[in-house]
Amino acid sequence: MAAHDGAILDAALRLLATAGYGGMTIDAVAAEAGVSKATVYLRWPTKADLATAALAHVRETGGTRVTGDLRRDLAAILGAMRRNIRRLSATGIIGMCLAEERAAPELLALFRERSIAPRRAELRALLDAARDRGELRDGADLDTAVDLLMGAHHARYMAGGPFPRGWEERVVSGVLDGLLPTA
């Protein structure tokens, strides 16, 4: 209704990502959104509600087109994921969800539902299709493959160095080809 909603949620999300839950003060949100604190409380009754709403407000961009080329499609998803994480400062958001898991499990649950699950489903669908086309080895462990694809970004970020050139393709190759000699 009022146009302030979006500004408030954006500000909240930004603060959540950069300053954590503790750093997301209502004062700061209100100031950044250009409204008074009471205006924030008019919409969300508590700080926790605001945080949850901000998380639910995340809109990820860049749906990828499926081409049927497994390597290319998987890499496209990884690329979109990486860009979204950077754009939204999502490492901070993820950290906040994990850090608050004990105190506010709904944050992590929401993040799972909104961000993790859809991406996993996308990856899984690509792999299923490839298997149906006979492109994958018999008995390939697709569940684990999704874990490997999804975890690679976190591992790289946690390692601390830069993402190498062609990171997406290298991850996809790692998962598709494996380390062992063929035959």
Partner DNA sequence: GATGAATGAGACTTCATTCAT
Partner DNA sequence: TATGAATGAAGTCTCATTCAT
**Residues that bind a copy of itself in the complex, under the rule CB under 8 A:** 18-23, 91-92, 94-103, 108-109, 112, 116-117, 120, 127, 135-138, 140-156, 158-160, 164, 170-171, 173-183
Least Cβ distance, residue 115 to DNA (angstroms) = 24
41 touches DNA (CB under 7 A): yes
> How many angstroms separate the CA atoms of 56 and 121, rounded?
19
CB 23 within 8 A of CB 49: no
> How many angstroms separate the CA atoms of 68 and 33, rounded?
43
32 touches DNA (CB under 7 A): no
Contact flags string 114-153 toward DNA, x per CB under 7 A: ----------------------------------------
Give CA separation, 4 vs 32, 40, 55, 161, 177, in Å. Answer: 11, 9, 17, 39, 50
159 touches DNA (CB under 7 A): no
170 touches DNA (CB under 7 A): no
CB 75 within 8 A of CB 64: no
CA neighbor of 168 nearest in space, from 63, 83, 65, 66: 83
Least Cβ distance, residue 62 to a copy of itself (angstroms) = 20
Residue 61 binding result from DNA, a copy of itself, none, given CB thresholds of 5 to 8 Å by partner type: none
